[in-house]
Chain A
Amino acid sequence: MKVLVAVKRVVDYNVKIRVKTDGTGVETAGVKMSMNPFDEIAVEEAVRLKEAGGVEEIIVVSLGVAQAQETIRTALAMGGDKGIHVETDQVLEPLAVAKLLKAIVDKEQPDLIVLGKQAIDDDSNQTGQMLAALLGWPQGTFASKLELTDGKANVTREIDGGLETLSLNMPAVVTTDLRLNMPRYASLPNIMKAKKKVIEKLTPDELGVDISPRLTTLGVEQPATRQAGIIVADVTELIDKLKNEAKVI
């Protein structure tokens, strides 16, 4: 069985981002970049499936600027076997990402695709669902548990009311939630080994995909900031303030 994992290079989750003063976007120059945290979980899940037996190959795909290769290397050091980098400097919207991934899936024919549920930069939460739609495959989004048995993927999903389990025919698309697993750190020997693994390079043109954006960003602004309030001395003062000043209880 073949598993394909999509990993995105994003501003590290610990960075406090700054909106550019000209309002055109968010400052990324000189900012620490990392693999999207949900995608680390996706890679980890693929590696665990391989360690459990039954998976022969893990293909790691990233789309975007040249440095996305570093993100692929990280995933290869975690246990991915082969990388594919679709290089472009253009802004990629989820629909374009899904189309590019579909073109790769048509070539590579994986049995399972694992993506993060959400990229923490655009917060779209769309790509996995879109890819499943374009392929006509079932989708198990926001997964906190994944089991493969007899050509089915059993996915437990985190939903607003609690948990739900679905049975999906394979091939299927799964997107990860935070509690699916705890991603490993790559060991030094594995980082060294990953340097020798192959990363195939492609372009959107070679894949025959039109990636023109459908949305125009007219501006990016900072949200209204909250003022810090006061520190109260004790519970009695807190209750008094909530009752008589804020009038919320």
Chain B
Amino acid sequence: MNVLVLAEHDNTLLKAQTLNTITAAKQLGDVTVLVVGHGCQAAAQACAQVEGVSKVLLADAPVYEHTLAETWTPLLVKLAETHGVIMAPATTTGKNVLPRVAALLDVQQISDITKVIDADTFKRPIYAGNAIATVKSGDAVKVITVRTTAFEAAPALGGSAPIETVDAVDVPTISAFVSADLTQSARPELTAASVIISGGRGMASGENFHLLEAVADKLGAAVGASRAAVDSGFVPNDYQVGQTGKVVAPDLYIAVGISGAIQHLAGMKDSKIIVAINKDEEAPIFQVADYGLVADLFDVLPELSEKL
């Protein structure tokens, strides 16, 4: 089986989620990685070095500069003629592009797989991860997004795959990129971090997040948030962890002033160690925490950053 993995990259570097997706892909067959973008030669070279990759396809063209589902889809649909599986990490890019491809292939996509059972059968979470379904696909081509926290990262070095260039395919002009407002941060990305400290409504304001950041600095941690903290404008949207935000599984997740709603737990309950800091001892977050501290976060955070 030929498996095509759509790489997530910033033209130069591969995003870590691509490595997890490659691990899932390897369980299904021979892995080809597709790098789409403009000026993305370096990212293609990075892909070629990933252990277990057989081939890299590079679609480098000005029309692919922005991740527009409308422009990328015809290319993926064409490549499905020679690949039995089309796979992408379940990032906002993968979630945006792959269903469009699946529909044109007349395939029912399988979203967010956490386990490969055989070539047709997969596990995936439903109901915010409160149930796990085992589904078998009857479609000839499989279109799959991967929950990256469920698969180890493939080693970034050790491979030496050939790079082939592919031409742009039938690019429609029904949509255009206008602008981006990306969060600038020197911290690790949420989905790649081994330690995360997240704040909730209990933080009370955006300014108070500097208390969290002081602890994050000591731990080399990424900073996340609950929906309530994002909705209240304390931090940008891309901090949100949960059913409808990012799914993370770091070695250590510290939840501060977060009650532990099922939608939040859906995004972090597979973390190795969970710490909860909350002044309400009844807060549901304590039911999933390995270590709970019942206290006022405004006392705890300064003390924590001082003692670490």
Interface residue ranges, A against B (CB under 8 Å)? 11, 13, 16-17, 19, 26, 38, 93-95, 98, 117-118, 120-134, 136-142, 144, 154, 157-169, 177-179, 213-223, 226, 228-232, 234-236, 238-239, 241-242, 246, 248-249
Complex: how many Å from CA A26 to CA B269? 20
Q: CB-CB contacts of B93-108 with A at 8 A, as 1s and 0s?
A: 1011111111110111
Choose among B180, B243, B262 the residue that contacts A163 (Cβ–Cβ < 8 A).
B180
Q: Which residues of A contact B174 (CB under 8 A)?
A: 136-138, 168-169
* Contact (Cβ within 8 A) B178 A154: yes
Task: Say how far A74's CB is from chain B's closest CB, in angstroms.
Answer: 21
* Contact (Cβ within 8 A) B111 A248: no
* Contact (Cβ within 8 A) B104 A19: no
* Contact (Cβ within 8 A) B134 A162: no
* Contact (Cβ within 8 A) A138 B102: no
* Contact (Cβ within 8 A) B99 A130: yes
Contacting A at CB under 8 A, from B287-308, are 287-295, 300, 303-304, 307-308
B79 within 8 A of A: no
* Contact (Cβ within 8 A) B103 A232: no
B159 within 8 A of A: no
Choose among B107, B237, B293 the residue that contacts A95 (Cβ–Cβ < 8 A).
B107
Known contacts A95-B108, A133-B102; can you find 18 more A-B pairs with CB under 8 A?
A17-B131, A121-B126, A126-B102, A127-B99, A133-B100, A134-B103, A141-B96, A160-B238, A162-B180, A162-B238, A168-B174, A215-B136, A217-B133, A220-B133, A222-B130, A223-B125, A229-B274, A242-B273
Q: Which residues of A contact B134 (CB under 8 A)?
A: 217-221
* Contact (Cβ within 8 A) B227 A178: yes
Q: Which residues of A contact B178 (CB under 8 A)?
A: 154, 165-167
Task: Say how far A123's CB is from chain B's closest CB, in angstroms.
Answer: 6
Q: Which residues of A contact B137 (CB under 8 A)?
A: 214-215
Complex: how many Å from CA A141 to CA B94? 12
Choose among A120, A139, A157 the residue that contacts B70 (Cβ–Cβ < 8 A).
A139
Complex: how many Å from CA A165 to CA B178? 5
Q: A141-B95, A162-B181, A248-B273 are in contact. Are A235 and B307 (CB under 8 A)?
A: yes
* Contact (Cβ within 8 A) B132 A160: no
Closest to B221 in A: A249
Task: Say how far A167's CB is from chain B's closest CB, in angstroms.
Answer: 5
Q: A123-B127, A228-B288, A232-B291 are in contact. Are A169 and B103 (CB under 8 A)?
A: no
| 6 closest Cβ pairs, A-B complex | A214-B108, A229-B290, A129-B99, A130-B103, A133-B103, A126-B99
Complex: how many Å from CA A181 to CA B172? 31
B interface, size bucket:
35 or more
B91 within 8 A of A: yes
Choose among B175, B243, B273 the residue that contacts A138 (Cβ–Cβ < 8 A).
B175
* Contact (Cβ within 8 A) A215 B108: yes
Q: Which residues of A contact B219 (CB under 8 A)?
A: 249
Q: A232-B293, A248-B272 are in contact. Are A214 and B139 (CB under 8 A)?
A: yes
Q: Which residues of A contact B139 (CB under 8 A)?
A: 214
* Contact (Cβ within 8 A) A231 B286: yes
B230 within 8 A of A: yes
B20 within 8 A of A: no
* Contact (Cβ within 8 A) A239 B126: no
Complex: how many Å from CA A236 to CA B307? 8
Q: Which residues of A contact B93 (CB under 8 A)?
A: 159-160
B21 within 8 A of A: no
B204 within 8 A of A: no
Complex: how many Å from CA A132 to CA B175? 12
Contacting A at CB under 8 A, from B170-184, are 172, 174-183
Q: Which residues of B contact A217 (CB under 8 A)?
A: 133-135
B236 within 8 A of A: yes
* Contact (Cβ within 8 A) B286 A124: no
Task: Say how far A200's CB is from chain B's closest CB, in angstroms.
Answer: 25
Q: Which residues of A contact B125 (CB under 8 A)?
A: 123, 223
B251 within 8 A of A: yes
Complex: how many Å from CA A127 to CA B92? 15
Q: Which residues of B contact A17 (CB under 8 A)?
A: 127, 130-131
Task: Say how far B218's CB is from chain A's closest CB, in angstroms.
Answer: 9
23 pairs of residues in contact across A and B, judged by CB atoms under 8 Å: A16-B262, A26-B126, A95-B106, A120-B243, A121-B126, A123-B127, A129-B95, A139-B69, A160-B191, A165-B179, A168-B174, A179-B231, A215-B135, A220-B132, A221-B134, A223-B131, A228-B288, A230-B290, A230-B291, A239-B308, A246-B290, A246-B291, A248-B252
Q: A161-B182, A164-B177 are in contact. Are A95 and B291 (CB under 8 A)?
A: no
Q: Which residues of B contact A130 (CB under 8 A)?
A: 99-100, 102-103
